[in-house]
């Protein structure tokens, strides 16, 4: 599903980096913080920002956003606050996608139990990055340039429209390199929600509407593929 709006809770370094990366991707975006110092910092960084407390009834969200097309990121400083925030949001918004940060696996398990759809353990993420940098420096540098720098190559996710020419076909029926000059890395089966298959395992997958293709290629090539699929905007 393509979300129109996003909220990041908190404005520590993790929250700030999340906000800077995702804000341009949404029609409406805001940061919710708990302290005046965070509000001033977020405002100085150019974000729309609002104060909240953990006892909110969340009418301020319902007044400002359409919850059916909203995604939120819980990135407060303390794990206990993120757990409480997740419980509070889930009690009001049953279907709201909630992404939460956790310091470790134990806290991550608590946030999943609290209702978060996805949890990212920051210690594990940092450890993985350091390991990759030490063991695969060239791979890490290439991926960093593709994902975060001004690289000609892009990684994109493209949702298959209902009337796309791909619907009903198998991945192996398309010569992605010859026809579109892109490489399909993975496909997300919409019927299986958050799970995805790398193309080697999803070789016989029957492409359905709302499946998501994860592709790498030059921006012009990805745009050409998107246009052929009938997609107006693809997510970088």
Q: Is the pLDDT of residue 122 over 90?
A: no
pTM: 0.64
* Cross-strand pairs, 198: 186
What residue ranges define each of the domains in the chain, with the CATH number in brackets?
5-127 (3.40.50.720), 150-229 (3.30.70.1450)
20 and 37 Cβ atoms separated by less than 8 Å: no
Pick from 57, 54, 45, 60: which is nearest to 11 by CA? 45
Average pLDDT over residues 46-59: 91
Q: Is the pLDDT of residue 195 over 60?
A: no
Q: What is the pLDDT of residues 123-181, one digit of tens each?
A: 766 666 667 677 777 777 777 676 666 667 888 888 899 889 999 888 888 898 889 99
pLDDT of residue 44: 95
111 or 146: which leads in pLDDT: 111
101 and 81 Cβ atoms separated by less than 8 Å: no
What six digits make up the tokens of 31?
């940061």
Pick from 103, 107, 118, 50: which is nearest to 83 by CA? 107
pLDDT of residue 90: 94
203, exposed or middle or buried, with CB in 10 Å at 0-12, 13-18, 19+?
A: exposed
């Amino acid at each position: 599903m393509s979300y129109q709006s996003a909220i990041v809770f908190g404005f520590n370094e993790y929250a700030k980096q999340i906000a800077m990366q995702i804000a341009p991707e949404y029609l409406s975006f805001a940061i919710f913080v708990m302290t005046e110092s965070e509000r001033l910092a977020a405002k100085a960084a150019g974000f729309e920002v609002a104060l909240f407390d953990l006892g909110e009834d969340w009418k301020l969200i319902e007044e400002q956003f359409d919850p059916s097309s909203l995604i939120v990121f819980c990135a407060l400083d303390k794990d206990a606050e993120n757990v409480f925030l997740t419980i509070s949001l889930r009690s009001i918004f049953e279907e709201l996608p909630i992404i939460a940060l956790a310091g470790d696996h134990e806290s991550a398990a608590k946030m999943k139990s609290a209702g978060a759809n996805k949890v990212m353990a920051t210690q594990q993420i940092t450890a993985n990055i350091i390991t990759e940098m030490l063991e695969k420096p060239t791979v890490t540098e290439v991926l960093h340039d593709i994902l975060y720098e001004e690289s000609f190559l892009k990684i994109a996710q493209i949702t298959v429209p209902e009337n796309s020419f791909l619907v009903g076909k198998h991945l192996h029926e398309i010569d992605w390199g010859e026809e579109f000059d892109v490489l399909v890395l993975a496909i997300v089966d919409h019927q299986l929600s958050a799970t995805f298959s790398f193309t080697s395992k999803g070789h016989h997958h029957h492409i359905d509407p709302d499946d998501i293709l994860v592709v790498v290629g030059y921006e012009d090539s990805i745009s050409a593929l998107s246009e052929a699929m009938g997609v107006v905007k693809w997510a970088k």
